[in-house]
Amino acid sequence: KTERTLAVIKPDAVIKVGDIIQSIYDANLTITKAKMVMLSWKQAADFYTEHQSKSFFNNLLQFVTSGPLIAMEVMGEEAVSVWRKLLGPTDSETARKEAPESLRARYGSDGTRNAGHGSDSLASAARELEFFFPSTAGHSPPNTA
């Protein structure tokens, strides 16, 4: 089934954007939206709200607000799971052992500085895509007068 997911290149891997885009196309996925953004602390906390009680929450926010991110809407057959498979295990050290070709194995450093993010379900993808690429349906058009 054709799906859309949110793929994020985190600050530590932005310099590898070329390789990562190549990997996305090699996996038979396509990029339908993309932007480079710097998140505020509050925006990052909002995006990662499900992790707010975790011990690593502050480190995570520190990291993802340390520089620009590249957010992409990635589309294709089974896009949610295919993109997560490309990323590999959350912890980059685990990725190097279990999935040495994965993006986190290649470009991540540890459990927090792990090169990328991918939505974990279609429901998460819908919420996370709306976060980075808000739909304008129902809003007033810009006043061009």
Q: What residues are labeled active site?
A: 117
Report the residue from 11, 117, 125, 132 that binds ligand CMP according to the rule CB under 6 A. Answer: 117
For residue 104, state whether it binds ligand CMP (rule: CB under 6 A).
no
Judged by CB under 6 A, the residue of 43, 66, 112, 124 near ligand CMP is 112
φ/ψ of 112, rounded to 5, equals: -95, -50
Residue 109: φ, ψ to 5°? -115, -45
* By the rule CB under 6 A, 90 interacts with ligand CMP: yes
Task: Please state, as a whole number, how many other Cβ atoms lie within 10 Å of the Cβ of residue 19.
Answer: 13
Nearest residue to 83 via CA among 23, 127, 19:
23
Minimum CB–partner distance for residue 87 and ligand CMP (Å): 7
The footprint of ligand CMP (CB under 6 A) covers 51, 56, 60, 90, 111-112, 114, 117
